[in-house]
């Protein structure tokens, strides 16, 4: 009695066929015995070469297991300790002051919070439309077949392209294009800025919401959909009234995942955002995000408070992305429980 086994290998949320299970038989047991024991003692019995006791091994496993927790806390503590000089000197005002002036020693991170928020939200708005479309495409209309594999492949490719390559391509293609548009509408022809960064960011985060969305949509029970169809609903109405509400939390979790990725994206953004430390006045203005200011100024921050301020920005980034990840996870767990 064979059964199929499926595994989610690429972390995108979908499980692929990887094997079939057959029950253990006498041959297998013999093979096991041969592999597990080696050597014979003087009287011809099998003897095991025990170099590791069970309790030691279990202890090693346990230590390894909690090492992830330890690592996480170590990161949190390191970041906090290193940003102490800034926290002590500036306090909470750090988050609302908008002057970032290394000369006078005033550090306010508001411009970067705003820059991060603007780019991430605009990118998310654009990306969600496409992610939702792709999720429905792959989860409802084309679940199998060549078209399905093709679009799935494209989405995976988009996720796999390194960030610098997006940035370089952005410099070579998007920036002149945006500059062209800006000259037409008589705005300062920077080419770089919040808009450009948001556009590139949106392309980069589409795969994350799309994969998760696709999985939850394809898991909507067929009988629910068929019931609606048998009542005379069109496919669109089924999607609108049955599938999407059912998959709501999964889609939300996917959106959160995309958001988390957008917040922390560094290289592509640094290359096209214009690197200005002032509060951006429009979406065509140059700006900086929390990640890009660190990339720009970390290696040369002279002065304890300067460096500590940058680490404090990293701390904020860490906390915010951690919270978003936890919330997303909670939603997924609740979703599994409800089902």
Partner 1 sequence: MRQRSVQERILFDRLFKGLVITLSFVIILPMFFILYFIIRNGIGVVNWSFLVSLPKPMGEAGGGISNALVGTVILILIASVISIPFGILTGIYLSEYKKGRFPYLSRLSLEILQGIPSIVIGIIAYVWIVVPMGSFSALSGGIALAIMMLPVIVMATEETLKLIPDSLKEASLALGVPYPRTILKVVLPAGLSGIVTGIILGIARIAGETAPLLFTAFGSPFMSTNIFKPVSSLPLLVFNYATSPYPEWHALAWGACFVLIVFVLFLNLIAKVVISRWKVQF
Partner 2 sequence: MKRFVVVLFTLIAASGLASASFGEQQEIIGAGATFPFPLYSKMFDIYSREYGVKVNYQAIGSGGGIRQLINKTVDFGASDVVMGEADMKAAGAPIIHVPVCAGAVVVTYNLPGSSDVRLTPDVIADIYLGKIVKWSDPRIASANQGMAIPDLPLTVIHRSDGSGTTFIFSDYLSKVSKGWQEKVGRGTALNWPTGLGAKGNPGVAGLVKQTPGSVGYVELIYALQNKMAYSSVRNRSGMFVKPSIASTIAAMNTGLSSDMRVTLTDTEAAEGYPLSGFTWVLAYREQAYQGHTEAKARELVRLIRWMTHEGQKYAEPMQYAPLARDAVAKAEALVRSVTYNGKGLL
Residue 103 binds to partner 2 (criterion: CB under 8 A) = yes
CB of 83 closer than 8 Å to CB of 72: no
Helices and strands, number each (H, E), in the chain:
14, 4
Query: Which of 273, 294, 259, 285 shows the shortest CA–CA distance to 109?
Result: 294
Phi, psi of 302 (to 5 degrees): -95, 135
Site string for partner 2, 219-258 (x = CB under 8 A): ----------------------------------------
Which does residue 282 touch among partner 2, partner 1, none (CB within 5 to 8 A, set by kind)? Answer: none
Nearer to partner 2, 75 or 278 (CB): 278
Report, in Å, the least distance between residue 141 CB and partner 2: 43
Residues in the chain: 339
Indicate the angle between helix axes 194-218 and 146-160, nearest 10 degrees.
140
Nearer to partner 1, 95 or 233 (CB): 233
Residue 234, phi-psi category: left (phi > 0), alpha (psi -120 to 50), beta (remainder): beta
Residue 192 binds to partner 2 (criterion: CB under 8 A) = yes
Distances (CA, A) of 297 to 102, 120, 306, 311: 10, 21, 9, 11
Residue 177 binds to partner 2 (criterion: CB under 8 A) = no
Q: Which residue has the tokens 């429980």?
A: 337
Among 85, 167, 191, 264, binds partner 2 (CB under 8 A): 191
Which does residue 291 touch among partner 1, partner 2, none (CB within 5 to 8 A, set by kind)? Answer: partner 1
Segment contacting partner 2 by CB under 8 A, of 24-32, 80-88, 100-108, 225-233: 100-108
Q: The tokens of 325 are what?
A: 């990840």
Max intra-chain CA distance, the chain: 94
- Of 280-309, binders to partner 2 (CB under 8 A) are 286, 288, 296-297, 299-304, 307
CA dihedral 174, 175, 181, 184 (to 10 degrees): -150
Nearer to partner 2, 12 or 97 (CB): 97
Residue 148 binds to partner 2 (criterion: CB under 8 A) = no
CB of 79 closer than 8 Å to CB of 294: no
Which does residue 317 touch among partner 2, partner 1, none (CB within 5 to 8 A, set by kind)? Answer: partner 1
Distances (CA, A) of 290 to 45, 61, 120: 66, 37, 11
CA distance 255 to 248: 11
Among 135, 211, 249, 277, binds partner 2 (CB under 8 A): 277
CA distance 196 to 213: 26
Q: Which residue has the tokens 């980069």?
A: 204
Nearer to partner 2, 188 or 227 (CB): 188
Residue 64 binds to partner 2 (criterion: CB under 8 A) = no
Which does residue 175 touch among partner 1, partner 2, none (CB within 5 to 8 A, set by kind)? Answer: partner 2
Among 156, 275, 321, 322, binds partner 2 (CB under 8 A): 275
Which does residue 41 touch among partner 2, partner 1, none (CB within 5 to 8 A, set by kind)? Answer: none
Nearer to partner 2, 130 or 298 (CB): 298
Interacting residues with partner 2 (CB under 8 A): 99-104, 106, 175-176, 179, 183, 188-192, 274-278, 286, 288, 296-297, 299-304, 307
């Amino acid at each position: 009695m064979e059964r199929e086994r499926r595994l989610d290998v690429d972390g995108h949320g979908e499980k692929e066929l990887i094997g079939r299970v057959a029950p253990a038989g006498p041959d297998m047991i013999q093979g096991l015995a041969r592999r597990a024991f080696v050597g014979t003692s003087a009287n011809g019995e099998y003897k095991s070469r025990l170099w590791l006791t069970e309790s030691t091994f279990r202890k090693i496993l346990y230590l390894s297991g909690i090492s992830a927790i330890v690592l996480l806390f170590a990161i949190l503590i390191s970041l906090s300790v290193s940003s102490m000089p800034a926290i002590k000197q500036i306090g909470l005002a750090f988050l609302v002051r908008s002057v970032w002036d290394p000369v006078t020693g005033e550090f306010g991170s508001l411009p970067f919070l705003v820059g991060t928020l603007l780019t991430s939200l605009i990118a998310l708005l654009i990306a969600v439309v496409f992610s939702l479309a792709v999720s429905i495409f792959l989860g409802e209309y084309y679940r199998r077949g060549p078209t399905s594999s093709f679009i799935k492949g494209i989405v995976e490719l988009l996720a796999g392209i390194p960030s610098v390559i997006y940035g370089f391509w952005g410099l070579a293609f998007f920036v002149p294009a945006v500059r062209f548009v800006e000259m037409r509408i008589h705005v300062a022809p920077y080419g770089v800025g919040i808009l450009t960064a948001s556009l590139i960011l949106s392309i980069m985060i589409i795969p994350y919401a799309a994969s998760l969305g696709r999985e939850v949509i394809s898991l909507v029970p067929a009988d629910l959909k068929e019931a609606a169809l048998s009542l005379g609903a069109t496919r669109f109405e089924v999607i609108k009234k049955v599938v999407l509400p059912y998959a709501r939390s999964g889609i939300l979790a996917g959106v959160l995942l995309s958001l988390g990725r957008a917040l922390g994206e560094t290289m592509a953004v640094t290359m096209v955002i214009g690197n200005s430390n002032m509060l951006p006045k429009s979406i065509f203005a140059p700006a900086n995000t929390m990640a890009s200011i660190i990339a720009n100024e970390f290696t040369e921050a002279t002065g304890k408070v300067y460096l500590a301020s940058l680490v404090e920005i990293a701390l904020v980034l860490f906390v915010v992305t951690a919270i978003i990840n936890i919330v997303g996870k909670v939603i997924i767990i609740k979703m599994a429980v409800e089902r």
